[in-house]
Structure 1
Amino acid sequence: MDHKQLNYFLALADTLHFSRASERCYISPPTLSRQIKQLESEVGAPLFIRDNRSVSLTPQGKAFVHYAQATLASWRQFKSECQDESKPLTGELSLYCSVTASYSFIYDLFARYRKEYPQVELNLMTGDPAFSISQVQGDLADVAVAVKPASLPQGLEYQSIGRSRLVFIAPTMTCPLTDLIDNHSAGDMPWGALPYIVPEQGVLKERIDHFFKRKGIQPQVYAHVSGHEAMVALASLGFGVAYIPEIVLSQSPFKNQVQQLNLQSEEIDIGLVTKKKRLQDPVINKLFSVSCGIFNS
């Protein structure tokens, strides 16, 4: 087996979906299927249970996750120790972030890093920011852009790259929701009567749950959504009120179809996350150094 096959296996083990895993790995679903079958043949046991509707890990597959993660981590560590400092920096670096972060933070970071270290291969994966930390913990990404949690998991390194206000948004279109909002000021808003679009998990879910608890309301949740960008779209269509980072709104194609509710808000800290031991890898260490020069200067 080779390291690419291990990466393919981990992508499928994480998504449990051939199409999504193949997109992440930049290969076709049939190619991914062939690679997984070849890996299973070499291992001598099935790693996944497949049917027409779902994919799941076998007991052997669950055990193989730990082997694949440890093997790839050891390989990356070995390569970093063999790096000749007198030669140009080489290697690979994978970074996971939301679509918004790829526009607002990562473009400038990758542009500077590419200029200084052109021989490093950069791989960008986008998805729900709620999964950022787990992507790093599971060795599915070397680095991730994440909202800083109240308590950072042990063994992780965090470096701030920016902040954003959290804002409540509602539609501008004429609908029952805007009629209800327009008839009240922020001070007497009937928060318990509003429908809400909330994230499925992550720091933002914790923040909105805290808001509901502070207001003493049992929210009417219209939808649980994966990804902040989709929350803006649903809010613009009048399905509910959403609580999102202002930076997401500024990058959204629907920003002119929503209004911000006049309510005092809090801020979130956004930064790069990696495993502390991975900072020994010069490829990752230099990314953090470049980031510090851009965002903390």
Structure 2
Amino acid sequence: MDYKDLQAFAAICHHFHLGRAAQQLHMSASTLSRRLARMEEEAGARLIDRDANPLQLTHAGALFRQHAEQTLSDWQQLRSAVSTQASDLSGTLTLFCTVTASYSFLVDLLARFRERYPKVELRIHTGDAADAISRVQRRAADVAIAARPDALPEDLSFKTMAPSPLLFIAPRGLVNVPQLSQADIDWSQVPMVLSESGLGRTRVDRWFAARNITPNIYAQVAGNEAIVSMVALGVGVGVVPELVLRNSPMASRVRVLTVEPELEPFAVGLCAPTDQLQQPLLQALWKTARL
């Protein structure tokens, strides 16, 4: 069992709600539930009563919480004791990410990074997720927060920070997309709002191709955030990463569709040129990021 497991358990104990704890940890509730099950298997006892609302600790869980809190406290003291030399690191790093990633991941990442390396300046550039990998390859950014592509270029390295399922979303009202009211949905007739390019578009195109369906594309947009807005307006069905939907102000105006098989989830994390990873500033950010 590692520190990440103990941090996950501490988050569960803070919220006593898997969904809210998962949001804090930037992971899906199902991923957190599997991590909890693994901890219980390693501990040899049930730690959380999942039938209770809110969740409750078992006797073993209360003992495990004490162990987790003490271990994490000792770890933090050790990190503080050895951070003096690291705090002298200085310079500038350019990071590229989407607007969603800037408040989904950067708040936590920057807080930890600035605590350890207060003299390092991070310059943040935001834009379309589809541009993230190419920005790093062109050296227009030192590092990017991006979704790992199906085939990572050989000259790049990737460090996963969190998974994000890829979801079909629809307007709340059936009247806007009446095709969805059918028992057997004819996907060739459903108006789709899709990204112009990028990993999400590649995966949804593959989903349609595997079923020999030509999608009825109503609109193609740059940026996943715009897809949520257009779906909320009722123009069609969209496909977006869960983290985009979770942080969208329009989230309450759309619903997630149950579609089988599910699209392959994104792995979101840091991407940087492999030959630059030994640079002190980039190495410091790389080590600060965590799943």
Same fold (TM over 0.5): yes
Distance (whole Å) between structure 2 residues aligned to residue 154 and residue 88 of structure 1:
33
TM-score (norm 2): 0.68
Matched, 1:230 2:226: yes
- Any idea what SS the aligned residue of 2:188 has? helix
Give, in angstroms, the shift of residue 278 of structure 1.
Answer: 1.1
Once the two structures are superposed, what CA deviation does each residue of 1:12-43 show, in whole Å capped at 9, x if it has no partner? Answer: xxxxxxxxxxxxxxxxxxxxxxxxxxxxxxxx
Q: Deviations over 1:160-182 (max 9, x none)?
A: 001011110011146341x331x
1:272 to 270, 274, 287: 270
Corresponding residue to 1:198 among 191, 194, 201: 194
Cα distance between partner residues in 1 of 2:87 and 2:162:
33
Give the aligned length. 205
Tell me, in whole angstroms, the C-alpha distance in 1 between the residues paired with 2:129 and 2:87.
Answer: 36
Following superposition, the deviation at residue 237 of structure 1 comes to: 0.7
1:184 to 172, 182, 185: 182
Is this contact kept in 2: 1:147–1:269, CA < 8 A? yes
Task: Tell me, yes or no, if the aligned pair for 2:193 and 2:238 is still in contact at 8 Å.
Answer: yes
What is the distance in 1 between the residues matched to 2:193 and 2:268?
22
Where in structure 2 are the equivalents of 1:61-76 lying within 5 Å?
A: none
Q: Give the Cα separation in 2 of the matches to 1:175 and 1:86.
A: 58
Superposed CA offset, 1:50-73 (max 9, x none): xxxxxxxxxxxxxxxxxxxxxxxx
* 1:251-290 map, 5 Å: 251-264=247-260, 265=262, 266-290=264-288
Alpha-carbon shift at residue 216 of structure 1 (Å)? 1.1
Report the Cα offset of residue 224 of structure 1. 1.0
Name the SS for the 1:134 alignment partner.
helix
Query: Are the equivalent residues in 2 in contact too, given 1:173–1:237 (CA < 8 A)?
Result: no
CA RMSD of aligned residues (A): 1.5
Shift of 1:86: 8.4
- CA drift of 1:109 comes to 0.5
| SS class of match (1:229) | helix
Q: How does 1:21-170 map to 2 (within 5 A)?
A: 88-170=88-170
Letter in 2 for 1:237: L
For residue 184 of structure 1, report the CA deviation from its aligned partner. Answer: 2.1
Once the two structures are superposed, residues 177-216 of structure 1 have per-residue CA deviations (whole angstroms, 9 ceiling, x without a partner) of 1x331x224xx11111101111111111110110110121
Paired with 1:248 and 1:206, the residues of 2 have a C-alpha distance of 17
Question: For 1:144, what is the secondary structure of its paired residue?
Answer: strand
> Partner letter of residue 235 of structure 1?
V
Q: Residues 114 and 257 from structure 1, CA distance in 2 versus in 1: closer, same or farther, beyond 3 angstroms?
A: same
Q: CA deviation at 1:262?
A: 1.4
1:149 & 1:86 partners in 2: Cα distance?
32
Provide the C-alpha distance between the structure 2 equivalents of 1:171 and 1:87, rounded to a whole number of angstroms: 49
2:86 touches 2:116 (CA, 8 Å); kept in 1? no
3-state SS, counterpart of residue 154 of structure 1: coil
The answer to which structure has the higher helix fraction is 1
Deviation, structure 1 residue 246? 1.0
Find the aligned partners of 2:176 and 2:196 in 1 and give their Cα distance: 25
SS in 2 for 1:110: helix
Contact 2:87/2:117 (CA < 8 Å) preserved in 1? Answer: no
Distance 2:86 2:103 in 1: 34
Q: Deviations over 1:207-246 (max 9, x none)?
A: 0110110121111111111100000000111111111111
TM-score (norm 1): 0.66
| 1:210 pairs with one of 206, 210, 213 | 206
> In 2, are the aligned partners of 1:192 and 1:217 still within 8 Å (CA)?
yes
How much identity, in percent, do the aligned residues show? 40
Q: Quote the Cα distance in structure 2 between the aligned partners of 1:128 and 1:152.
A: 18
Q: Shift of the alpha carbon at 1:99?
A: 1.2
Determine the C-alpha separation between the residues in 2 that align with 1:86 and 1:253. Answer: 38
Seen in structure 2, the aligned counterparts of structure 1 residues 113 and 176 have a Cα distance that, compared at 3 Å, is closer
Superposed structure 1 runs of 4+ greater than 2 Å apart: 173-176
Deviations 1:239-267 (A, max 9, x none): 11111111111100000110111113231
> Is the Cα contact below 8 Å between 1:173 and 1:257 reproduced in 2?
no
